[in-house]
Amino acid sequence: MTKNPKKTLLLLLGIILVALLVFSVMKAPESPSASTTSPVKETDVQEVSGNKDLTASMSNEGTITDFSDIELENVEELDTRPATEIYTNAQEALAAIQAGAEEYDDIILEQFSLLGEDCAFCDSLYQQVISLMLKPDANEDEKAYYSEVLAISGRPENIETLINSIREASNEDDADIFAESLELALGDDKVVKLLANFLEDKNELLQESSIAAITNQGSKFAAQTLYEHTVSRKETDGYYDLGIGLGEMIPDEATLPYLQELVLKRDEYSHLAVKSLLNYGNDGVVLVFDALTNSSDPEKDKKMLVDAIDHVGYEEATMNFLKDVLADNPAPLVAQFAQDILAGFDPEEDDE
């Protein structure tokens, strides 16, 4: 049989085309995105991330070799460091505060908390903050933010400015704003001593905000100041119904022995010291139960424990301690208090 030359030619052409196609695929260059990294200038990397340490992850050829090695920890450090370590002068610091006021930035507030006397630019800075706070066209958020910057500065002169601003406010809204900031005041016993001058003030707003501000401290002197004022006014409730006063204080560790002394008095004010001890945490709980265990007057103890359970927060150490208390077969009042606390513990809720 004679072969058809046309069919043979078509078959050969098909084989050649397939061979060419396979050869071209094998020789084609890989995609740039798969095999190469575009060169990146060092300055470009710094502009994008704001992190100078990025340059350490670049190869000798000037390319980023592994993005997983890039860390942005320094960016976070800028948020948490004191302002004196971030800003070099009052102008930079003020610009940060003004930017923070726009969004009520809590991180910026943290930077300016208790900067200390070694702040070289603070005198100038706070004078400008005061001017911004008192500007007639400042809105409520700006007044609140700038006044809070003063309150948390720890400087008695700034606290005094807030006090005067409450007294001299042109309207009730401004007075309320400044008073709310005063309640957040931070500082040492110099601040407490200043605030103590207004515990009997006829201006009720100033008086209550001063009590709240002292409550916000945890020193022994602050606790003594609140206790003595409470007793002198015969305020057995200790302003507890207002959410301020000794019963709402979170004490410093050094304040615990003084509060324990007040508990052992077992008088009409002792319940405030019990609450404050419980606010401290497990060590305070231990001191309260120590006082209850060694008591011979359960009726007075019962009065001291009114609303006390609300001041016990969940801690694993506290839970274990209370179980040990119950294992020792304590007095009925002690056992009931321990059981009530344990019944109210919800670790998942406290973690949230």
Which residue ranges make up each domain of the chain?
A: 75-217, 238-352
Give me the residue label for tokens 């016993």.
189
Beta pairing partners, 158: none
Cβ–Cβ under 8 Å, residues 248 and 219: no
Distance CA 151, CA 153 (A): 6
* Sign of the four-CA dihedral 185, 187, 192, 194: negative
Which DSSP state fits 128?
H
Name the nearest CA neighbour of 331 among 308, 301, 287, 286. 301
CB contact at 8 A, 180 and 212:
no
d(CA 220, CA 265): 17
Task: At 58, give phi and psi (nearest 5°).
Answer: -95, 145
pLDDT value of position 315: 96
First to last CA, the chain: 91
Task: Provide block-wise average pLDDT over 10 residues at a time, the chain (352 residues).
Answer: 48 59 52 40 40 40 38 50 95 98 96 93 98 97 99 98 97 98 98 98 98 98 99 96 98 98 98 99 98 94 97 97 96 97 76 49
- pLDDT at residue 40, as a whole number: 41
Instruction: Note the pLDDT of residue 116.
Output: 87
- pLDDT, one tens digit per residue, over 264-296 is 999 999 999 999 999 999 999 999 999 999 999
- Give the per-residue pLDDT at 17: 62
pLDDT at 76: 45
At residue 155, the pLDDT reads 97
Q: Which residues pair with 283 in a beta bridge?
A: none
Nearest C-alpha neighbor of 162 from the set 173, 174, 216, 171 = 174
Return the pLDDT at 191.
98
